[in-house]
């Protein structure tokens, strides 16, 4: 699993950071998502998919 973020689509809601702060952060400059870790551990994959589904802008996606 590889997590990607389209920073041109992100609206900076911060939901992904609240759910998985070890994987996501927001830029200090504009609040837009930063992917800290694009390859989650296997035991994190379900939580990652839940966070992606909860993203209000559709900025996050996963490649397998």
Alpha-carbon 38 to chain mean position: 9
Whole-number minimum distance, CB 61 to ligand SF4, in Å? 10
- List the beta bridge partners of residue 34: 25
Binders of ligand SF4 among residues 22 to 61 (CB under 6 A) are 33, 55-57, 59-60
Alpha-carbon 26 to chain mean position: 10
Applying CB under 6 A, which of residues 2, 4, 11, 61 lies at the interface with ligand SF4?
Answer: 11
Q: Are 4 and 35 in contact (CB under 8 A)?
A: yes
Whole-number minimum distance, CB 14 to ligand SF4, in Å? 5
Whole-number minimum distance, CB 13 to ligand SF4, in Å? 3
């Amino acid at each position: 699993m590889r997590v990607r973020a389209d920073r041109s689509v992100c609206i900076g809601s911060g939901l992904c950071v609240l759910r998985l702060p070890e994987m996501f952060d927001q830029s200090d400059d504009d609040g837009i998502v930063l992917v800290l870790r694009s390859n989650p551990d296997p035991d994190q994959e379900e939580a990652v998919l839940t966070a992606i589904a909860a993203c209000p802008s559709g900025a996050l996606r996963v490649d397998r």
